[in-house]
Amino acid sequence: MHRFDNPTSVSWMDTVHGLLQAAKTVVFVPEHDKHIIHPTVAEMLRHDHLPLHKPIATQESKLAALGGLKPITVGILSQKELVGLTAVLAQFTLYLPSMRPYWRIDYASVKQLHDAVIKYAVKNGPVGLIDQLKIALDIRQGNTEEAMWLLLVTSRQYARWYDSDAAIGLPTLTHDTILDEMTGWSRSIKSFKNTSVQDTAGDTYYCWTHAFAWIAFKTMAKRQTLFSRLQFLALRYGTELNHRIAHKISPQSLPNSHRIAAKYGNAIGKFLTERNISNKV
């Protein structure tokens, strides 16, 4: 199943309501203690120290040399689709049950990427960003937007496990199995920062969120409107806004900064967008 083959079957009214709910719950996070797993994962990984990603300039050079990318499909996202994507990119579907169709993906693909990344890491060590993209591209037969979407959804699932009800075909898993899968993912990918809490998985989904926002709003959108430009700016600078405003009101359950990951994601998304425009894919 490909995410962007068909439009999402959620009404305009429900989509706008979902966007408003996302904005509200980003700032005033609802009680969700029973769903919090990632601090336990962080404690399990406390003595791990994962290698860092290469600088952004190196990532861009590797992207420039990367083959197998099909051009990003231009003009397939309607204004309603963009509003829905803004909501689910900004907030977990745990808090937005009516918006779960916008986050849809089959769990089999999520698990396939998870297992492929771990397999690669066992042989080659923790996986960098461009190698993550290469693995996702192999799974999605070179379809760039589908590979990016798969990376985003998979990395967020194994970082926080807050979108489970949106994953199609997700089986009932024990708590220990979930912990094993989340720690396995975290130990298989490179980190963005040398801090006591690296939160490698969290940073990774932040990175791919920013990268995907670029291609969705700058390439895949049918039209560039004032509202879509404002949505893009909110996503582009969303991590900074979160740290400066939202986290002051609702502190993070795992305190740390995702600013470096956001810079990487914005750089990758911008590079892919400009590459698509210049027809150098």
- Report yes or no: 23 and 150 within 8 Å, Cβ to Cβ: no
CA atoms within 13 A on the CB side of 98: 14
Tell whether 32 is covered by a domain.
no
Write the single-letter amino acid at 132.
Q
CA dist., res. 207 & res. 110, Å (int):
17
pLDDT of residue 2: 86
Over 60: is that where the pLDDT of 104 sits? yes
Long-range contacts at 44-47 (CB < 8 A, ≥ 24 apart): 44/179, 44/183, 45/183, 45/186, 45/187, 45/198, 45/200, 46/196
Domain-located, residue 26: no
pLDDT in tens, 211-261: 999 999 999 999 999 999 999 999 999 888 777 776 667 766 666 889 999
Q: What is the pLDDT of residues 151-200, one digit of tens each?
A: 999 999 999 999 999 999 999 999 999 999 999 999 999 999 998 778 99
**Do residues 71 and 279 make contact, with C-beta atoms less than 8 angstroms apart?**
yes
Nearest-angstrom CA–CA distance, 237 and 259: 10
**How many structural domains compose the chain?**
1
> What type of residue sits at position 63?
L
Give the range of the structural domain holding residue 224, as residue numbers without chain letter: 49-277
On whether the pTM is more than 0.85, the answer is: yes
The DSSP H or E segment spanning 233 is: helix 226-236
Query: Residue 221, SS3?
Result: strand
Q: What is the pLDDT of residue 17?
A: 97
Q: What is the CA radius of gyration of the chain?
A: 17
Average pLDDT over residues 254-274: 92
Name 189's bridge partners.
127
The per-residue pLDDT for range 54-75, each reduced to its tens digit, is 999 999 999 999 988 899 999 9
Asked if the structure places residue 156 within a domain, the reply is yes
In a domain, 35, yes or no: no
List 2's β-bridge partners, or say none: none
| 23: in domain | no
pLDDT confidence bin for 277, thresholds 50/70/90: confident
Alpha carbons 272 and 73: distance in angstroms, whole number: 12
pLDDT(279) > 80: no
Q: Which amino acid is at 152?
A: L
Sorted by sequence, the CB contacts under 8 Å of residue 105 that are 6+ apart come out as 1, 3, 149, 150, 153, 166, 167, 168
pLDDT band at residue 1, thresholds of 50, 70 and 90? low
Mean pLDDT for the stretch of residues 124-135: 98
* DSSP E strands, 84-127: 105-106
Residue 99 lies in a domain: yes
Give a yes or no: residue 106 inside a domain: yes
**pLDDT tens for residues 8-59?**
999 999 999 999 999 999 988 887 666 688 889 988 998 898 999 999 999 9
pLDDT at 145 over 90: yes
Q: Please give the mean pLDDT across all residues of the chain.
A: 92
* Residue 4 covered by a domain: no
In angstroms, the CA 54 to CA 63 distance is 13
The pLDDT, as a whole number, for residue 33 is: 62
Q: Tell whether the model's pLDDT for residue 103 goes beyond 80.
A: yes
